[in-house]
Amino acid sequence: MYSENAWDKYTKEELEKVDALATSYMDFINNGKNERLVVKESIKLLQEKGFKHISEVNELVPGTKVYYVNRGKNVCAYVIGKHKLVEGIRVLGAHIDSPRLDLKQNPLYEKDGFALLDTHYYGGVKKYQWVTIPLALVGVVVKKDGTVVDINIGLDENDPIVGISDLLIHLSGEQLTKPAGKVIEGENLDVTIGSMSLKDKNVKDIVLEALKEKYGIEEEDFLSSEIEVVPASKARFYGIDKSMIAGYGHDDRCCAYTSLRAILDINEVPSFTSCTILVDKEEIGSVGATGAQSRFFLDTIVDLLVKKGEYTPTSLATLLSASKMLSSDVSAGYDPLFASVYEPKNSCYLGKGIVFNKYTGSRGKSGCNDCSPEYFAWIRNVMDENKVNYQTAELGKVDQGGGGTIAYILGNENMDVVDAGIAVLNMHAPMEVISKADLYEAYLAYKAFLLK
């Protein structure tokens, strides 16, 4: 059902399902404030649904449910299908990293009565959006003996929060003449974490004592830490009609959750092997061991081929060329307050269902995957057969900007790939907004895709 309002089609029972999915999703992102926490949540859900870690599985037969984990930051789940692996698999891929501020390796300093943490922002952020909002610190500190200490300050309602200050309006005459990109400079995105001093202890000492008491860590342990500054607030329904969800990290956890939910909810043996892979580092180019360009994903496939007795020198290539993928990532929802950057007939709208981007990229489609019309015709058929509401879009007007996803990376491996995701308002802001209906349609689409 192309370009139709999804709300029109829901019965009372379906509306309850829309709400139930939204609520479970909100729990997921409230707990999953960074990629490691998303992986933890995902493993919990997979195990609840009978998925086993690959190391616990001896034989792969149709219906076997397994998952792989890479460095605590990628998870890749499979349901083995009826067909041989080399006949192709169905892949849903989404990223679980979101824009945020990372602590620097030497973050802590004291200045004029305050203890502060220096940060380096991660991904594309409008820096002025990150000041004067409640922030939390999540991540890990790894001590020299290998002990991993989980850090979580500000998410529990009984915890204090942290934050970044901005200049009071009364003294902002000069600041407000600056371009928006310079109003708050990257080097000024420093998090305030203390202000108390005593005769014999300065502010920094007191903060370090508190960290030592709560976590058993020393200042030098920051050297081997990965601590992320994220919005502390929980996801909430948005709008008087509760039609939307406001929260941090919809990009791309709304697609990650629905992609995961789709494979979790497979109760029959699928024709073709189903896969959901959640990757890290998309916001900085999908690089490194845990990004989509890592060998990890292909290695899991090779492992399945070996364990299923299908491995030959050409089996991976055969499998990939016969496989289909949805690169599940969010799209720029049309915003009437900024209408001039959108081309209305090739934009996506909240409430019209899952969004397909035949191509993303910028300025002349540079760097995009550009899916084939043959594949997209197949997709249209799956959507219509399953009465899924869908729409198509580009990322804004030509020459207006652009962006990328992981689609091209798997496209390069000779798979059919198209971008498919959820329309988001305020993308990359600390509070992003999506429609509940689109979350539900994405889930339906992903499940229909896996089972086709």
Question: Which 3-state string (H, E, C) describes the chain?
Answer: CECCCHHHHCCHHHHHHHHHHHHHHHHHHHHCCCHHHHHHHHHHHHHHCCCEEHHHCCCCCCCCEEEEEECCCEEEEEECCCCCHHHCEEEEEEECCCCEEEEEEEEEEEECCEEEEEEEEECCCCHHHHCCCCEEEEEEEECCCCCEEEEEECCCCCCCCEECCCCCHHHCCCHHHCCHHHHCCHHHCCEEEECCCECCECHHHHHHHHHHHHHCCCHHHHHHEEEEEEECCCCEEECCCCCEEEECCHHHHHHHHHHHHHHHCCCCCCCCEEEEEEECCHHHCCCCCCCCCCCHHHHHHHHHHHHCCCCCCCHHHHHHHCCEEEEECCEEECCHHHHHHCCHHHCECCCCCEEEECCCEECCCECCCCCCHHHHHHHHHHHHHCCCCEEECCCCCCCCCEECCCHHHHHCCCCEEEEEECEEECCCCCCEEEEHHHHHHHHHHHHHHHHC
CB of 389 to Mn ion, least distance (A): 21
221 belongs to the binding site for Mn ion (CB under 5 A)? no
CB of 288 to Mn ion, least distance (A): 17
Closer to Mn ion by CB, 67 or 122: give it. Answer: 122
CB of 330 to Mn ion, least distance (A): 5
CB of 148 to Mn ion, least distance (A): 27
- Between CA 403 and CA 61 the distance in angstroms is 40
Q: Which of 251, 419, 432, 438 binds Mn ion (CB under 5 A)?
A: 251
Q: Which of 380, 36, 89 is nearest to 263 (CA)?
A: 89
Closer to Mn ion by CB, 160 or 186: give it. Answer: 186
CB of 247 to Mn ion, least distance (A): 15
Segment contacting Mn ion by CB under 5 A, of 308-316, 325-333, 339-347, 362-370? 325-333
CB of 251 to Mn ion, least distance (A): 4
Segment contacting Mn ion by CB under 5 A, of 142-150, 208-216, 244-252, 351-359? 244-252
Closer to Mn ion by CB, 100 or 447: give it. Answer: 100
Closer to Mn ion by CB, 46 or 407: give it. Answer: 407
Label residue 401 exposed, middle or buried (CB < 10 Å: 0-12, 13-18, 19+).
exposed
Closer to Mn ion by CB, 329 or 416: give it. Answer: 329
Q: How many residues bind Mn ion (CB under 5 A)?
A: 3
- Between CA 36 and CA 26 the distance in angstroms is 17
Closer to Mn ion by CB, 45 or 407: give it. Answer: 407
Residues in 57-76 at the binding interface with Mn ion, rule: CB under 5 A: none
228 belongs to the binding site for Mn ion (CB under 5 A)? no
- Between CA 385 and CA 196 the distance in angstroms is 64
Closer to Mn ion by CB, 271 or 426: give it. Answer: 426
Residue type, 373: P
Q: Which residue is nearest to Mn ion (CB)?
A: 252
- Between CA 407 and CA 361 the distance in angstroms is 10
Residue type, 148: V
252 belongs to the binding site for Mn ion (CB under 5 A)? yes
CB of 281 to Mn ion, least distance (A): 11
Residues in 180-219 at the binding interface with Mn ion, rule: CB under 5 A: none
CB of 215 to Mn ion, least distance (A): 31
Segment contacting Mn ion by CB under 5 A, of 25-33, 63-71, 189-197, 326-334? 326-334
Segment contacting Mn ion by CB under 5 A, of 44-52, 59-67, 248-256, 290-298? 248-256
Residues in 327-346 at the binding interface with Mn ion, rule: CB under 5 A: 329
CB of 102 to Mn ion, least distance (A): 16
CB of 250 to Mn ion, least distance (A): 9
Closer to Mn ion by CB, 329 or 441: give it. Answer: 329
CB of 403 to Mn ion, least distance (A): 7
Closer to Mn ion by CB, 253 or 308: give it. Answer: 253
Closer to Mn ion by CB, 21 or 279: give it. Answer: 279
Closer to Mn ion by CB, 221 or 283: give it. Answer: 283
Binding site for Mn ion (CB under 5 A): 251-252, 329
